[in-house]
């Protein structure tokens, strides 16, 4: 073997700086990191006159090194090694560039591939692709074409290049993540707009039914609906989908649409919820379920018939505005299994409003925080207190007052908040808030 390469000349140093700058620009703008790395390794091999070059990246939570790009007579792209393996592993573990002038003298050199391929590794420089403690992988160059050994100038250059590439990759990942977040934000805003469109407007109703929904996030897993039948009766529902985010929002839209569609041909609330349950179970809901109350109001008589599928117990405030009657669920939520109800469907409760008001709500109401420290929840007693404090107000003002007392106490909503009221003695006017 010949002596190691001399220190860089001024022109070589300038060329190396230009190479680093060019590679940083390409990595920062790249849509395909592996292809960019492959081209970059070609430039490195040409500039340093090496026989081979490769780039390894950490994967599987930093436990594996995977070759993402390589140049040379042996194609090792896709090669997987333990993150502590060989000279490249040592470079990453110590977070420092490794100069091995003669691999025969290094105990960490792994000669397995030389034996398998016939390629002869003589000298290696390996540098981590890292910024500070953030380690992404390593760049490795092997053998000078002219037979010389690598020297300190090569180690310093590759170390600087590794840091530059790491910065470019991290910046590219950050930019990509920002684009994805902005895309997701736009999609969520569109989903929220679609959800708001699914909620009914009460402007066209002259009947005493009103509801309000406040999402804890941009999209909601809660829903409600009111639909007038040709004979003047009103179908209504309030539901709460398990889970959060987009999946819950999609299941919310699906369940709400099913209810509205099936209500046109089914007259019994218990059978209607059974049909919704069967459809959700048949099409699959990915382990999610829906608690809901669905019923029908006859405004002429004040008779309300409803079924409760694992939902919060509705509260009936009597005519005198003093006592409450609760209606606990006698069946589990929909979307779990078709075997939860018999041929008659979900159990049905019947109540006469008789001058009273029926409140149906989601657990986001009763589980709302009562102070900024989150040290207490409103609970059913707290909700009853708010209802009694606002019972004399018209519906148009009553529900916003109740929800405002819950959501306006300086704390963020821990869950979506939905309230629906059927009132025997008031008819709302104007758009919903």
Contact between 297 and 205 (Cβ < 8 Å): no
Beta partners for residue 213, in sequence order: 418
Residue 321 pLDDT greater than 80, yes or no: no
Residue 403's CATH number: 3.60.40.10
The arithmetic mean of pLDDT across residues 248-259, rounded, is 85
Based on the domain organization, do 299 and 380 belong to the same domain? yes
The pLDDT value given to residue 157: 86
User: For residue range 260-271, what is the model confidence (pLDDT) as tens digits?
Assistant: 999 999 999 999
Distance between CA 432 and CA 201 in Å, rounded? 6
Q: State the pLDDT confidence band at 192, using cuts at 50, 70 and 90.
A: low
**Residue 168 confidence (pLDDT):** 76
For 348-386, write each residue's pLDDT tens digit.
Answer: 999 999 889 999 999 989 988 776 655 678 899 999 999
The answer to whether 50 and 141 have CB atoms below 8 angstroms apart is yes
Query: Within this chain, do residues 273 and 126 fall inside the same structural domain, yes or no?
Result: no
Inform me whether the pLDDT recorded for 13 exceeds 60.
no
Residue 10 has pLDDT above 50, yes or no: no
Selection from 327, 299, 317 nearest residue 392 by Cα? 317
Does residue 298 share a domain with residue 214? yes
Confidence of residue 282 (pLDDT cuts 50, 70, 90): confident
Residue, of 401 and 10, whose pLDDT is higher: 401
3 state SS for the chain: CCCECCCCCHHHHHHHHHHHHHHHHHHHHCCCHHHHHHHHHHHHHHHHCEEEEEEEEEECCCCEEEEEEEECCCCCCCCEEECCCHHHHHHHHHCCCEEECCHHHCCCCCCHHHHHHCCCCCCEEEEEEEECCEEEEEEEEEEECCCCECCHHHHHHHHHHHHHHHHHHHHHHHHHHHHHHHHHHHHHHHHHHHHHHHCCCCCCCCCCEEEEEECCCCCCCEEEEEEECCCCCEEEEEEEECCCHHHHHHHHHHHHHHHHHHCCCCCCHHHHHHHHHHHHHHHCCCCCCEEEEEEEEECCCCEEEEEEECCCCCEEECCCCCCEEECCCCECCECCCHHHCECCECCEEEEECCCCEEEEECHHHHCCECCCCCCCECHHHHHHHHHHHCCCCCHHHHHHHHHHHHHCCCCCCCCCEEEEEEECCCCCCCCCC
Is residue 365 domain-resident? yes
Domain stop point among 118, 142, 177: 177
Task: Report pLDDT for 1.
Answer: 45
What is the pLDDT at residue 125? 93
Does 45 reside within a domain?
yes
Residue 416 counted as domain residue: yes
Shared domain check, 249 and 147: no
**Same domain for 300 and 409?**
yes
pLDDT tens per residue, range 23-37: 666 666 666 677 777
Q: In the chain, what percentage of residues exceed pLDDT 70?
A: 82
Residues 235, 340 share a domain: yes
In a domain, 237, yes or no: yes
Residues 379 and 324 in one domain: yes
For 78-126, write each residue's pLDDT tens digit: 888 898 888 999 999 999 999 998 888 888 887 777 777 778 888 999 9
d(CA 218, CA 238): 19
**Structural domain of 228:** 199-423
Q: Average model confidence (pLDDT) for the chain?
A: 82
Arithmetic mean of pLDDT, 327-355: 89
162 in the same domain as 208: no
In a domain, 1, yes or no: no
- Most confident listed range (205-209, 241-245, 282-286): 241-245
**336 lies in the same domain as 372:** yes
Output 400 or 181, whichever has higher pLDDT.
400
Please check whether residue 156 lies inside any domain of the structure. yes
231 pLDDT more than 70: yes
Same domain, 379 and 301: yes
Share of the chain above pLDDT 90, in %: 31
125 and 209 both lie in a single domain: no
pLDDT bracket for residue 2 (50, 70, 90) = very low
Task: Residue 46: give its domain's CATH number.
Answer: 3.30.450.40
pLDDT at residue 427 greater than cutoff 70: no
pLDDT at 342: 75
Kindly state whether residues 213 and 68 are assigned to the same domain: no
Q: Domain count for the chain, please give it.
A: 2
Report whether pLDDT(279) > 80: yes
| Res 409 pLDDT > 70 | no
């Amino acid at each position: 073997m010949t002596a190691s390469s001399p220190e860089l000349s001024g022109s070589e140093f300038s060329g190396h700086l230009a190479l680093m700058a060019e590679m940083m620009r390409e990595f920062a703008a790249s849509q395909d990191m592996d292809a960019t790395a492959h081209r970059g390794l070609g430039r490195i091999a040409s500039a340093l006159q090496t026989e081979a070059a490769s780039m390894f990246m950490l994967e599987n939570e930093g436990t594996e090194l995977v070759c993402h790009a390589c140049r040379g007579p042996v194609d090792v792209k896709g090669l997987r090694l333990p993150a502590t393996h060989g000279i490249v592993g040592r470079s990453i573990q110590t977070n420092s560039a490794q100069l091995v002038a003669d691999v025969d003298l290094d105990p960490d050199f792994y000669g397995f591939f030389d034996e398998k391929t016939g390629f002869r590794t003589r000298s290696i420089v390996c540098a981590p692709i890292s910024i500070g403690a953030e380690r992404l992988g390593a760049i490795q160059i092997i053998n000078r074409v002219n037979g010389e050994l690598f020297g300190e100038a090569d180690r310093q250059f590759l170390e600087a290049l590794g840091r530059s590439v790491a910065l470019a990759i991290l910046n590219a990942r950050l930019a990509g993540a920002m684009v994805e977040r902005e895309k997701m934000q736009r999609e969520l805003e569109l989903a929220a707009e679609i959800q708001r469109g699914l909620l009914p407007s009460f402007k066209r109703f002259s009947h005493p039914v009103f509801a309000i929904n406040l999402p804890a996030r941009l999209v909601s897993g809660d829903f409600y609906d009111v639909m007038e039948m040709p004979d003047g009766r009103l179908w209504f529902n309030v539901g709460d989908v398990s889970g959060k985010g987009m999946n819950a929002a999609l299941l919310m839209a699906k369940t709400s649409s099913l209810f509205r569609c099936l209500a046109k041909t089914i007259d019994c609330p218990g059978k209607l919820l059974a049909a919704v349950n069967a459809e959700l179970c048949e099409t699959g809901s990915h382990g999610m379920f829906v608690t809901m109350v669905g019923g029908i109001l006859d405004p002429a008589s004040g008779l309300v018939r409803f079924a409760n599928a694992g939902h919060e117990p509705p509260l009936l405030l009597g005519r005198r505005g003093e006592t409450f009657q609760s209606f606990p669920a006698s069946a589990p939520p929909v979307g779990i299994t078709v075997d939860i109800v018999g041929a008659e469907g979900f159990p049905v409760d019947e109540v006469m409003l008789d001058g009273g008001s029926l409140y149906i709500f989601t657990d986001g109401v009763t589980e709302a925080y009562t102070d900024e420290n989150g040290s207490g929840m409103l609970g059913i007693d707290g909700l009853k207190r708010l209802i009694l404090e606002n019972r004399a107000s018209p519906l148009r003002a009553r529900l916003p007052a109740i929800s405002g007392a819950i959501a306006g106490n300086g704390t963020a909503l821990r869950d979506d908040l939905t309230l629906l009221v059927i009132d025997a003695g008031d008819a709302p006017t104007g758009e919903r808030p």
